[in-house]
Structure 1
Amino acid sequence: MEKTDGSGSVALELYSTSFCGACRRTRAVLDRVRQLLPEITVIEHDVAFEPHLAEARGIRSTPTVIVRGAGGAETMRADGVPTIDHVLVAVARAMDAASAGSHGALPASRDQNSGVHRSPR
C-alpha cells in the first residue's frame, strides 16, 4: 500500500470517473465528512487515468470509497454512494483501531487548508 500522506491519519480513497453522476454525489458526501473531520485525508483516483491502480485494488465500479486506517489497512469499502453516517462510522472504527494500536494516542492533525488530494491526470 502506498503511503497516502505523512500524518498517519485515516484516509478516504475515492475511485471515480469524471462523467459519473454518482461520483459527484459521493464527492459531496466526502467533502461533508472532511468538513466535520478536517484531519481526514481524501484522495481521489480517476480510474480512466489510473486503470492499473483500480485493477490492483479490485475496483469494479465507480464510485468506490475505501476507508483506510493509520497503518493503511482497509476498514471499509463502499460501492455506490455511501451515506455520511456510513463513512463516519467507518472512520470512527479506523480511528479506534489506530488508537488501540498506539495505546490511546489520537491521530495526528493535518493542515486544514490541504483539501482533497486528486491523483495526477
Structure 2
Amino acid sequence: MIGLWVAIGTLLLGLAAGAALHARNGRVTAARQPERELPGPVAEALGAEDPVTLVQLSTTFCAPCRHARAVLSTLAERTEGLRHVDLDITQRPEVAQRLGVWRTPTTLALDPGGRELMRVHGVPRSADLLTALRPHLP
C-alpha cells in the first residue's frame, strides 16, 4: 500500500513540475545577468547597424530550437531594426556557461553594445516578444 502512495505522489509531483515548466516556456524575462564581456561568438554576432539583435542559442538535436528559429527569423524579417542570429552551442558549452544558459533554445535580446535587454527560455511567443522589444526598436 505504501508503494502505491509513493507512486501516486511521484506522479503528482512530476505533473506539477511539468505544468510549471510549460507555463514558463516562451515567457520574456528581464535581463538577469550583470553586464560583463560577451563570449567571442556572441560578440561577433552583434549587428552594429541594428538596434536589437536576437541571439538564439541552440543545440544540434533540439526540436524546439527549429521552431524558435522559424518564429524569430519571421519576426526579424517583418520588423525594422531587428536582427536574428542562431548560434549552435553544441560544441561550445563554455558559451552557454558564461551566459548562464541552462537549456535550449534560449534567446538573448542584445543592443549593439552587447548589453542584454531581455531573454526568453524556450520557444518565444512572437506577440509577447515584439511587445517587450518595442521600446528598443525604431
Q: Distance in 1 between matches of 2:86 and 2:92?
A: 11
The answer to whether the aligner puts 1:89 opposite 2:134 as a matched pair is: no
Equivalences for residues 1-121 of structure 1 within 5 A: 1=38, 2=43, 4-95=46-137, 106=138
**Structure 1: runs of 5 or more not aligned:** 96-105, 107-121
Q: Secondary structure at the match of 1:62?
A: coil
Percent identity, aligned pairs only, is: 30
TM-score under structure 2 length normalisation: 0.62
Residue 91 of structure 1, CA deviation: 2.2
Residue 54 of structure 1, CA deviation: 1.0
Residue 38 of structure 1, CA deviation: 4.8
Q: Secondary structure at the match of 1:87?
A: helix
Q: 1:37 to 1:62 in 2, by over 3 A?
A: same
Q: Distance in 1 between matches of 2:61 and 2:80?
A: 27
TM-score under structure 1 length normalisation: 0.70
- Does the 8 Å CA contact 1:8/1:71 hold for their aligned counterparts? no
Residue 86 of structure 1, CA deviation: 1.9
Residue 39 of structure 1, CA deviation: 3.4
Q: 1:25 to 1:59 in 2, by over 3 A?
A: same
- Does the 8 Å CA contact 2:50/2:82 hold for their aligned counterparts? no
Q: Secondary structure at the match of 2:102?
A: coil
Q: Secondary structure at the match of 1:44?
A: strand
Q: Secondary structure at the match of 2:109?
A: strand
More helix by share: 2
Q: Secondary structure at the match of 1:71?
A: coil
RMSD: 1.7
Q: Distance in 1 between matches of 2:50 and 2:72?
A: 19
- Specify the code of the residue in structure 2 equivalent to 1:37: T
1:101 alignment counterpart: none
Runs of 4+ in 1 over 4 A off after TM superposition: none
Residue 59 of structure 1, CA deviation: 0.7
**Structure 2: runs of 5 or more not aligned:** 1-37
